[in-house]
Amino acid sequence: MNNPDLIVAAETRSPVGVPALLSSDLEPLYLRRSGTSLLIDFSTGEAAMLHFGADLGLALPDLSLLGEAVPHSALDVPVTLGLIPQASSGWRGRPGLRGHRNGQAFSARLRVVSVERSSVEGSHGEDCSAVITQADPEAGVSVRTEIRFNDGGLLQLRHRLDNHGADPYSLDELAAVLPVGRAAIEILDLTGRWCRESHPQRLPLRQGTWVRSGRHGRTGHDASLLLAAGTPGFGNRHGQVWAVHLGWSGNHESFVDAAADGRTVMGASELLGAGEISVAANASYETPWLFAAYSAAGLDGISDAFYTWFRARPHHPGVRSGKARPVVLNVWEAVYFDHRLEPLLELAEAAAGLGVERFVLDDGWFRGRRDDQAGLGDWYVDEDLWPAGLTPLIDAVTGHGMEFGLWVEPEMVNEDSDLARAHPDWIAGPAQRSAGGPAGRLPERWRHQQVLDLVNPAAWQYIFDRLDALLSEYRISYLKWDQNRDLAEMGHAGRPSVHAQTLAAYRLLDELRKAHPGVEIESCSSGGARVDLGILERTDRIWASDCNDALERQTIQRWTGVVVPPELVGSHIGPTTSHTTARTHDLSFRAITAMFGHFGLEWDVRRLAAAERTELAAAIALFKQYRPLLHSGRMVRADEPDPALRLHGVVSHDGGEALYALVSVATSFAEVPGRVCLPGLLPDAAYRVEAVYPAADDRRAFLQAAPPAWLVGGIEASGRFLAESGLPMPVLNPEHGLLLAVRRVTAAAPAADPAANSAHPVRNP
């Protein structure tokens, strides 16, 4: 149950009384995983973060001698960079903890109480996770920090603050931070808007704080999925990079804080509203997980760490279900709100004929929903549109051998709905209201809708029951779970409630998954406004953007993919002329773009010309052929010097095969592209490279008198040759792509070449 009065107190309770302080003779904590390490020293009595970055090997110096110099006009002792950076240790950067008891106890002095260490199988007996507890008896608080170092090098860190005092502790911020190496002098993060999510921006790292605030109540179209800092010009495959991500779908801040003393930290925290978190006596507050990675080989190394973590989860789609990600057809851009059985049956038949494996009925099927102005909240199949319910459509879809998926937007309500008319007080807003009473002042509408107050147990239960009933009544394998507005002025009982609402939405997903374990869920939020590892812990894919324009998608998917592996990123072939940009693209470019994701269609494929249908069916078959590789391999993005070209690919972990896409996003300055490098293969293995799509003589894709000689029959070359010298590429027209399949042709690696600098191909075709 979601009791509003226990928003905070309902979280884990701690034992009464502040834990006793330990002496400071604890062994340092040195966690190492997959080339990355974290070093925390306790010799000052505080958890002092000495290092996060490259593995430091086994021989560590005497850490107690590593305190900084004491400069003039400064604190008389060296300043510690704590696990919770605090003013009580002289830290003048952004504090890790801000809170008070009615204006008192405003500055905590946290000291180490306990350190629990543990290793996991496969970590060679070394510590790879730990729990550090620090406490301040005077302030009456303790902070328990959980650290997990996952295989692949992805670090997870979160804090729990326990209030041991008799009165409530008002929490303003509890941040998770990590040190960044001095070599980092450049910041990269992502921003965006509707239909243009996940675009990178770079800036120099200067003294001061670079903060990205998300006040949308949801993750946000402009959210920085990744905040990175690194060495000058760090790229996809070169340079040192430190990166963080906050696994949270509510308000948040991520920041790089370069202090005047020369040290830099990066981190993130939940952004709390005024008075939002008051931690009751003997109650606690827990932060979301901070995820962090370090790479000595550019952003691809960061992706390796995230992908390894995702794919090791027992509930990762594919791992959980044991089945490949089905090819989807979503009807949205085919029919919008025009829900009529006959055309939908035709669409299902056409989809099945093309090789589609999952058919998703989008918005418009429930009571009163004829457009986007009414109906949200009334989660009953509309009797006028569907006199026999959804069964005729579902039977047809499943009869064709496809799964059936359904769109829902459970966290929202239209004022024009039976639900809002019956329960005006279930609409979230800033006003304090009583049960059954008027709604009070409401936030401005957004897409004509408001937010349903899921912190209200009755509202939560109603939504759970409706979704549970639909999933029980119909053969639904998949929910497209949408969330189409910011949570502005989000309040419950007159207090800010984004925190509680986010947890309530999480709990709704968790409980439904428990009740219907076979159902997959997609997280959509006006496209990609809720892409984060908090929502992805309880969903099976994200909808990266409402923009199906392949050119836009090249950027959106490339950068979403730095964190999220392709099997989790919904990616559809849209109509020939994009509904969101009016750009027209050939099918080959649209298909090559959609292949590097969870592939699907969002297009009225009922009346395609015969040639187009044949090409589309072939593209779907091609995706299915490479799906196991695309959804399990390592992502490779070349540092392509020509801004008009992009090269990305997926290479299998054993280096045995790869699929690359060369994409032209503009016209090039050069007459011919020259030799484009294909990095990421085993240097000393021999490979066969073949152009698979489109055909070499496709006049729409290429503008040339003749293609490079190898393009027609393929070529064999070593991984080193392909990475260092590359292959001459055809002249692609702008906004076209070329798919290249690479297969290893020798079983054993040849002996190391003594003249390592000469890059001769291993075999000549």
Tell me the closest approach of the beta carbon of residue 577 to ligand GLA, in angstroms. 18
| C-alpha distance across the termini of the chain, in Å | 68
Tell me the closest approach of the beta carbon of residue 412 to ligand GLA, in angstroms. 10
- The Cα 269–Cα 252 span in angstroms is 6
Q: Do 404 and 476 contact (CB within 8 A), yes or no? A: yes
Print burial letters for 152-174: b (CB count within 10 Å at least 16), e (below 16).
bbbbbbbbbbbbbbeebbbbbbb
Q: Which of 362, 546, 549, 586 is catalytic?
A: 546
Which is nearer to ligand GLA, 380 or 710 (by Cβ)?
380
> Interface with ligand GLA includes 266 (CB under 6 A)?
no
> Interface with ligand GLA includes 359 (CB under 6 A)?
no
Half-sphere exposure of 502 (CA within 13 A, CB side): 28
Using the contact rule CB under 6 A, the part of the chain among 109-117, 437-445, 488-496, 523-531 near ligand GLA is: 523-531
CA 666 to chain CA centroid, nearest Å = 28
Catalytic residue status for 546: yes
Reference 455, options 377, 378, 508; nearest CA is: 508
Catalytic residue status for 304: no
Tell me the closest approach of the beta carbon of residue 501 to ligand GLA, in angstroms. 19
> Interface with ligand GLA includes 362 (CB under 6 A)?
yes
Tell me the closest approach of the beta carbon of residue 102 to ligand GLA, in angstroms. 44
Binding-residue pattern over the window 543 to 562 for ligand GLA, x denoting contact by CB under 6 A: x--x----------------
> Interface with ligand GLA includes 482 (CB under 6 A)?
yes
Which is nearer to ligand GLA, 446 or 474 (by Cβ)?
446
Tell me the closest approach of the beta carbon of residue 200 to ligand GLA, in angstroms. 22
- The Cα 67–Cα 452 span in angstroms is 52
> Interface with ligand GLA includes 52 (CB under 6 A)?
no
Sign of CA dihedral 361, 367, 371, 377: negative
Tell me the closest approach of the beta carbon of residue 479 to ligand GLA, in angstroms. 12
Binding-residue pattern over the window 398 to 427 for ligand GLA, x denoting contact by CB under 6 A: ---------x--------------------
Reference 619, options 596, 598, 592, 597; nearest CA is: 592
Reference 464, options 379, 541, 535, 521; nearest CA is: 379
Q: Which of residues 313-352 bind ligand GLA (CB under 6 A)?
A: 332
**In the structure encoding, which two tokens stand for residue 246, read together?**
């906050």
Residue nearest to ligand GLA (CB): 363
The SS3 assignment for 421 reads: helix
DSSP state of 546: S
Q: Do 545 and 561 contact (CB within 8 A), yes or no? A: no
Tell me the closest approach of the beta carbon of residue 409 to ligand GLA, in angstroms. 7
> Interface with ligand GLA includes 524 (CB under 6 A)?
yes
Which is nearer to ligand GLA, 361 or 402 (by Cβ)?
361
Using the contact rule CB under 6 A, the part of the chain among 46-54, 128-136, 519-527, 583-591 near ligand GLA is: 519-527
Which is nearer to ligand GLA, 363 or 657 (by Cβ)?
363
Half-sphere exposure of 31 (CA within 13 A, CB side): 28
User: How many other CB atoms are there within 10 angstroms of residue 692's CB atom?
Assistant: 15
- The Cα 457–Cα 582 span in angstroms is 44
> Interface with ligand GLA includes 526 (CB under 6 A)?
yes
Q: Do 212 and 253 contact (CB within 8 A), yes or no? A: yes
Among 127, 136, 304, 363, binds ligand GLA (CB under 6 A): 363
List the catalytic residues. Answer: 482, 546
Residues that bind ligand GLA (CB under 6 A): 332, 362-363, 372, 407, 482, 484, 524, 526-527, 543, 546
